């Protein structure tokens, strides 16, 4: 597989957009990154996984997956060796990272929208409620 394949597969997933992160291609869903091609010059794609997911991928196919060196790798960020991966492996790995990010996005949104006391729909401020008050 190639960086072009990585890009094609990532962009085929629902809600994904490509953007530049530190001048390098990255992919996000719901405004949050789940994969990048920051290491494409070395022949890798990068996936944002959990530590447990990373361990499973590395154990199952160590010639294709390896933790990114340093602190990022200790947090689950994982290289996928593009030339050694096939379409099914790359698609599955990208889908795993995409699914993790979409689930994390949903949890974050749920935490940000608490219901008002007494239940019911969240209150929406109107323009009159937002008026600034002068000094008193």
Measured distance CA(7)–CA(14) in Å, rounded:
13
Per-residue model confidence (pLDDT) at position 34: 98
- Mean pLDDT across the chain, nearest whole number? 89
Residue 43: pLDDT over 80: yes
Structure tokens belonging to residue 40: 């494409």
Task: Say whether pLDDT at 133 is over 90.
Answer: no
pTM score above 0.95: no
Hunting for tokens 């990010």 — which residue is that? 101
d(CA 126, CA 40): 48
Instruction: Check: CB of residue 17 under 8 Å from CB of residue 98.
Output: no
User: Structural domains in the chain?
Assistant: 3-113 (3.90.1150.30)
127 band by pLDDT with thresholds 50, 70 and 90: very low
Percent of the chain with pLDDT over 70: 82
pLDDT at 108: 86
């Amino acid at each position: 597989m190639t960086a072009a394949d990585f890009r094609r597969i990532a962009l085929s997933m629902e809600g994904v957009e490509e953007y530049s992160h530190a001048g390098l291609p990255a992919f996000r869903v719901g405004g949050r990154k789940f994969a990048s091609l920051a290491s494409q010059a070395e022949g890798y794609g990068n996936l944002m996984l959990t530590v447990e997911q990373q361990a499973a991928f590395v154990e199952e196919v160590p010639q294709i997956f390896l933790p990114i060196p340093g602190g990022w790798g200790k947090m689950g960020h994982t290289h996928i060796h593009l030339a050694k991966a096939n379409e099914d492996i790359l698609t599955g790995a990208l889908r795993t990272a995409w699914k993790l990010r979409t689930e994390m996005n949903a949890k974050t949104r749920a935490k940000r929208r608490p219901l008002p006391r007494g239940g019911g729909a969240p209150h929406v401020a109107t323009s009159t409620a937002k008026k600034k008050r002068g000094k008193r």
